[in-house]
Amino acid sequence: MSQVSIQQAMQQFLEKSRLKQRVQALQIKDLWAELMGKTIANYTDDIRLVNHQLIISTHVPPLRQELVYQREKIRNRVNEALGENAVHEVIIK
- Cα 31 to Cα 13, 19, 63: the distances in Å are 23, 19, 19
In 3D space, the residue among 36, 37, 20 whose CA is nearest the CA of residue 74 turns out to be: 36
Q: Within its chain, how far is the Cα of 11 from the centroid?
A: 17
How far is Cα 90 from Cα 55, in angstroms, rounded to an integer?
Answer: 6
Q: What is the pLDDT of residues 67-88, one digit of tens each?
A: 999 999 999 999 999 988 999 9
User: Which residue has better confidence, 8 or 28?
Assistant: 28
Compute the chain's Rg from CA coordinates.
15
Residues facing residue 53 across a β-bridge: 50, 89
**Average pLDDT of 27-43?**
93
Task: State the Cα–Cα distance between residues 74 and 32, nearest whole angstrom.
Answer: 10
